[in-house]
Structures are given as C-alpha cells and as structure tokens.
C-alpha cells in the first residue's frame, strides 16, 4: 500500500517516550524543531515561520512582555505563560526591551523599579501595543499547542 503522506513528511515509526519528550523540549527551544526531529519537515518549516514571524511582529508593534504582579497573580501568571511558551526567545526579547531578563514587577525599593515600570508603560501607551501583545501571546500559545502536537505524533496518537 502506498504511503498517503505528502512528500517531505516521513512515515511514523516507533518512538520511545524519552525521545518524544526530547522532541517536545527541542520544539520549545526552537519552534518547529520538534516536528523536524519527527521527520515532519514541511510542518517544521511552516511552524517555524508562523511562530517566529508572529513573535517578531509582536515585538515590532510594541507588544507588552508581561510582568508578574502579586496583586493580579492569576491574570499576570497566564500572560507570562503565554509569553514563555515561545521558548528562550522570550528571554532574549526581555533583555532587549527591559535591559535585563525581567519576569516580575520589583518592589518599589528596588533600583530597577522605576525603569522597568516606565518601559512597560511606554510600550503600553503605543498606538499599536494591543496588536503587538496579541501577536506575542498568540505566538507563545500556538507554540505550546504545537508541543502537544509533537507529543501526539510521537506517541502515534496522530498520523
């Protein structure tokens, strides 16, 4: 029987749970790389372009990189999850935007408090910030969903 997969998509083979977990980890480190490890090269290339393109558009449009706030734990926690879903690129973006890898609003006594809050508010005041933020969060959440896809393909739950 002929393989019904399009060219560039490798046939599924038995993969150990450890290799599947490695594919998920690699997919988080570099969007699309988990699919590439499983032989799904077209998907890998498409997802790489979509996710990093969305992330780049978000940064270019002054998207807000969420900062954890004790007063709004639940919402800021979800926002951080969406940002961190993109992988290490989030840390590089934070260093570029905040001058350091910052994930929380510091105490008012912290010398970085004013600078970090002002940077956050400046991006928030931008006319296109809402669009940029949507792009950033979409990129991270999309990558998290694709990690589930990598796991399902590796465990042969999905063709």
Per-residue pLDDT of the chain (159 residues; tens, 9 = 90+): 454 555 555 444 678 899 999 999 999 999 999 999 999 999 999 999 999 999 999 999 999 999 998 899 999 999 999 999 999 999 999 999 998 999 998 888 888 888 888 998 999 899 999 999 999 999 999 999 999 999 999 998 877
pLDDT at 11: 47
pLDDT at 1: 44
Q: Where are the domains of the chain?
A: 17-154
Spatial distance between the Cα atoms of 138 and 15, rounded to a whole number of angstroms: 29
Report the 10 Å Cβ neighbour count for 56. Answer: 15
Q: Which residues contact 94 (CB under 8 A, 6 or more apart)?
A: 65, 100, 101, 102, 103
Spatial distance between the Cα atoms of 90 and 121, rounded to a whole number of angstroms: 19
Angstrom distances, CA of residue 116 to CA of 32, 94, 106, 119: 32, 11, 8, 5
Angstrom distances, CA of residue 51 to CA of 58, 77, 133: 11, 21, 14
For the segment 27-61, what is each residue's pLDDT rounded down to a tens digit? Answer: 999 999 999 999 999 999 999 999 999 999 999 99
């Amino acid at each position: 029987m002929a393989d019904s997969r399009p060219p560039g998509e490798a046939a599924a083979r038995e993969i150990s749970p450890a290799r599947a977990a490695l594919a998920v980890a690699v997919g988080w480190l570099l969007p699309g790389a988990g699919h590439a490890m499983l032989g799904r090269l077209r998907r890998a290339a498409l997802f790489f372009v979509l996710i990093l393109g969305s992330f780049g558009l978000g940064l270019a449009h002054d998207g807000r990189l969420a900062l954890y706030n004790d007063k709004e734990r639940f919402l800021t926690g979800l926002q951080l999850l969406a940002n961190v879903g993109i992988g290490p690129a989030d840390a590089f973006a934070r260093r570029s935007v905040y001058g350091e890898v910052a994930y929380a609003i510091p105490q008012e006594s912290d010398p970085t408090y004013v600078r970090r809050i002002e940077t956050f508010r400046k991006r928030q005041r931008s006319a296109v910030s809402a669009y940029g933020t949507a792009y950033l969060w979409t990129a991270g959440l999309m990558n998290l969903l694709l990690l589930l896809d990598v796991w399902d393909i590796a465990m042969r739950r999905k063709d």
